[in-house]
Structure 1
Amino acid sequence: MASFNLTKGERFPLSKAAPGLTVVRIGMGWDPNDQPGGPDFDLDVSAFALNAGFKIPSDSYFVFYGQVRMGNYIEDSLEKGLMRPITKDGAIMGAIDDPDGRRSDCDDDEDMFIDLSKVTPDIEQIIICCTICKYPHDNKKDRRTLNLNFGQVDDCYIRIINESTGEEILRFDLKDKYTKEDAVEFGRLFRVGNSWEFEAMGRAHTGSLQTLVDMYT
């Protein structure tokens, strides 16, 4: 099956390509333009599962690497000792933090898994985001990270894979050129009746992850 390449703002019904689809893997990738002696790039993937009011119904539905609560992690089956955040309904399993972009053995820098059949009924959409980790949250506490932005990152993309078959369903390559933004809402999964669709968003913001948290909590 050929993958569908989307453009910004385009929507795609997942059932069109994969009837009966349940578990999807969301893969994301990028190529930071690291400068010799410059600050380290650390890009993080997160998700916000929103209700009809465009808010997360509880903290569990903000899925990111720093989501530390007892009983809310499961062990990643591929890498012993690394853990993934998971929503309380068990539907969304978030990304493992990959500070240097070298963790994954596949083409994607980070990924997450969503079991669409488990998403609680009051969740109407799931927004997949990517942000640049900056001082003071970066590993090396380097103030120079404050100047990093997506204009310094090439080949950003998001893709959706049918986890049961391994086939790529769709892909969205981010074409916009940014000069100061450090947070991007790459795309969203949203309900249409009893099925799910994907929209390629490419909506950028300044203020990194905190801006998105303020929007959706």
Structure 2
Amino acid sequence: MIQLSKGQRIDLTKTNPGLTRVIAGLGWDTNNYSGGYDFDLDASAFLADEAGKVTNEREFIFYNNLQDPSEAVVHTGDNRTGEGEGDDEQIKIDFSKVPAHVHRIAITVTIHDALARSQNFGQVSNAFVRLVDEDTNREVLRYDLGEDFSIETAIVVAELYRHNGEWKFNAIGSGFQGGLAALCQNYGLSV
């Protein structure tokens, strides 16, 4: 298993022949927080073209749209509290089904209703993404996000992208203010 740090890129399919189905598992803990609200983090995926834009809104995968039309990317469902060990939310990706126009799959996490609840990623710790080979259950890589965030309410955790016919993984870890709406705008979707 490879441990990545921010900004690192790694070959997925080239160095793991036969890797076609992966699970992106995302997890987090919330620090002591007494605002009286649940802390609901949501994982999403944006299926973007070469220009980094989502051209079909059904290729934005989140709790209200759990899979894209090709069924290449499937969200396994919303976890509203983040309690417990291991992955809090999972997104499954089948590289063999990804449509030709999709060049990158961005994995993101946002805080639901952050503004109204006065919440941000400064109150979140131990956030990570890990990629698991769905067929063997082997953890291929892991990226721990660290404590780099304070006021942000959305994070682009990582991108899986095509390069010369192979898939690679980029540990991005960049934060946004403005939650899901800001991310949608970044990927060319109007909210």
TM range (shorter): over 0.9
TM-score (norm 2): 0.93
Q: Do 1:17 and 1:169's aligned partners in 2 also have CA atoms closer than 8 Å? A: no
Q: Deviations over 1:82-101 (max 9, x none)?
A: xxx11101100014111112
1:51-200 paired onto structure 2 within 5 Å:
51-67=49-65, 85-102=66-83, 107-134=86-113, 143=116, 145=117, 147-200=118-171
CA positional deviation for 1:177: 2.4
Segments of 5+ residues of structure 2 without an aligned counterpart are: none
Partners of 1:95 and 1:180 in 2: CA distance: 28
CA positional deviation for 1:159: 0.5
Matched residue type, 2:54? I
Aligned residue pairs total 188
Q: Paired residue for 1:40, among 38, 56, 61?
A: 38
Q: Do 2:14 and 2:166's aligned partners in 1 also have CA atoms closer than 8 Å? A: no
Q: Deviations over 1:119-141 (max 9, x none)?
A: 001100000000000168xxxxx
Q: Do 1:64 and 1:95's aligned partners in 2 also have CA atoms closer than 8 Å? A: no
CA positional deviation for 1:30: 0.2
CA positional deviation for 1:39: 2.0
Q: Do 1:45 and 1:95's aligned partners in 2 also have CA atoms closer than 8 Å? A: no
Q: Do 1:46 and 1:95's aligned partners in 2 also have CA atoms closer than 8 Å? A: no
Matched residue type, 2:80? P
Partners of 1:203 and 1:13 in 2: CA distance: 20
Partners of 2:114 and 2:28 in 1: CA distance: 20
Secondary structure class of the residue paired with 2:13: helix
**1:214–1:153 distance in 2 versus 1, CA, 3 Å:** same
Segments of 5+ residues of structure 1 without an aligned counterpart are: 68-84, 137-142
CA positional deviation for 1:193: 1.1
2:9 alignment partner in structure 1: 11
1:78 alignment partner in structure 2: none
Q: Paired residue for 2:26, among 11, 20, 28?
A: 28
Partners of 1:112 and 1:187 in 2: CA distance: 12
TM-score (norm 1): 0.82
Deviating beyond 6 angstroms after TM superposition, the runs of 4 or more aligned structure 1 residues are: none
